[in-house]
Amino acid sequence: MRTILGKKGETLQEFMNFCVVVPVFLAMGFSLSYGGGITGYKTFYTLFPEIDTTTTKGAVKSHNSLIQGTTVASLNLGAALGCLSTMYLGNKLGRRRTVMLGAIVALIGTILQCSAYYLAQLIVSRMVLGAGLGMMSSTVPVWQSETSKVHKRGHHVIIDGICIAAGIALSSWLTFGFSKAETTSSWNWRLPGMTTGILAIIVMIFTFSFPESPRWLALKGRPEEAREVIALVDDVEPHSEHTEFVLASITSVNELSAESASFTSLFKYGKEKMLYRLILASATQLFSQMSGSALITYYSSQLFSTIGLSKDLSKILGATDLTFKLICCSIPFFTIERAGRRRLLMIAASGMSACMFALAICGSQVTDDNLVPAYVAIVFAFLFVAFYPIGFLGVNFLYSQEVITTRYRAPASGISTAVHWLSAFVVALTTPIGFTSLGWKFYLVWAAVALSIIPSVYFFYPETTGLSVEEIDQVFIDSPSVFATVGLAEQRRREKAREVAVVAGEVEQFDGAKKAEEQYEQALVQSRA
């Protein structure tokens, strides 16, 4: 099987991340922040006076806030529709062709947005752009998780969150910089808006240089092609014991789920507990936005304005805060396989909830003569973006793929990622109104949501670290109830760790050149034979 520059194994994965994953999620992060970043441009709100909240007051400002929120959030609505389309297209077209189609749609949306002179065209363009981003953002994590080794799966998908943060930071600084341009022409917001189109073109160039998902190929009855991809990704021979074991595991899971293969089975509890798993995936994406992160992503500068800071200082602090968020994304990259998914989710939720409550308290104490609480609030805003990426900027995409079986992974990813975009749509739509109507009390809503994450994860989210996607699938099938799943997953992880440790000792004694995980898989193949 041909690949770009003949790369294979871990080098192939890294090259795929650089050429496809990075531009997709850079474009996603950039687009999430771009709309809110240009609403204060004079060249923008004079061209679209219906969304002017800068020079208006009273009832007119309230009405324009709603229109502004709708315009900014139309991107998310389009993205949700794009995600839902992958429920059908994901398994129909495969991972590569779905990503390519999404890139083409995103490019068309970018062209429409950068050439908009009427509000209707602007809204439609953002919906089209969002549709393309939705198709790519719901498919790429599936493609990654299905072509990664067990011990590397977390690192590869965490890159998604890092790139989203990088795109958000890039957008915040670009929109701040171009806002200082002394011009009466609209080029100062059209030019940075081309960024998403450039990134979409990069995706279109490189997507077909990388192999299709072996699990999708096996699902479509193409085992020989799947075998080649497994060998290529894991850098082994096509007919090695490792390749045979992985292919046999994939085939076995596909056969087990074939008896309940109708689309409606995704929404039934049944033997595979698909409804429970779909709720886990969707709730993870819901929590990632409704905990307050989307508020900072879309309206970071407005956040600092509500606690009494000047306009320019608010913009600078907003951009700096989002850049700090990018730096903090390195935390889950280095801890995801050590600390596990559950622990990171609960740590992040605890920190975010405390910070949102603190922002509300500080906001309630700010007066024209007392700005000390405002400066204290700055600290908590920065702490929030330190906690958020620990559990909800990459881990959410990873976990949503891990808990779904191969046959339903593409449609379930479409649904869960649609929930991600729809919840972001709600935040983007309501934030201008919330800041106008509630002020500091608006933070209490997000604090309560973040607090609810902790018991949800503790009681219902099984740990997936160290288990293959097929082993995770078996945990759900074997679990007698939703309340027993967490304990069973932990038991399976301990059993596998003990078995790998035993094999590791044998490897050290008899064959130090082979890895413990490979020996463990060989032992399983021999026992089955």
List pLDDT tens digits, range 332-350: 878 887 888 899 999 999 9
Report which of residues 260 and 108 the model is more confident about: 108
270-528 is classed CATH 1.10.3720.10: no
Average pLDDT over the chain, rounded to whole? 82
The pLDDT > 90 percentage for the chain reads 24
Residue 525 has a pLDDT of 45
- Altogether, the residues listed in the chain come to a count of 529
82 within 8 A of 130, measured Cβ to Cβ? yes
Report which of residues 302 and 465 the model is more confident about: 465
pLDDT value at 518 more than 60: no
Closest by Cα among 334, 317, 35 to 167? 35
- Alpha carbon distance 31, 469 (integer Å): 31
Residue 512 has a pLDDT of 46
Lowest mean per-residue pLDDT among 122-131, 210-219, 502-511 = 502-511
Identical fold between 1-211 and 270-528: yes
Q: What is the pLDDT of residues 84-116, one digit of tens each?
A: 898 888 888 889 999 999 999 999 999 999 999
Closest by Cα among 369, 429, 432 to 61? 432
Residue 62 has a pLDDT of 78
pLDDT value at 523 more than 60: no
CA atoms within 13 A on the CB side of 51: 26
Closest by Cα among 417, 407, 394 to 281? 417
CATH superfamily of 1-211: MFS general substrate transporter like domains (1.20.1250.20)
* Most confident range, picked from 54-63, 141-150, 273-282, 415-424: 273-282
Give residue 515's pLDDT band: very low, low, confident or very high (50, 70, 90).
low
Distances (CA, A) of 162 to 70, 282, 291, 357: 27, 21, 18, 26
Residue 513 has a pLDDT of 44
pLDDT value at 297 more than 80: no
Range 264-279 average pLDDT? 85
Distances (CA, A) of 408 to 11, 17, 404: 29, 24, 6
- Alpha carbon distance 528, 246 (integer Å): 13
Which tokens hold the place of 508? Answer: 């050290």
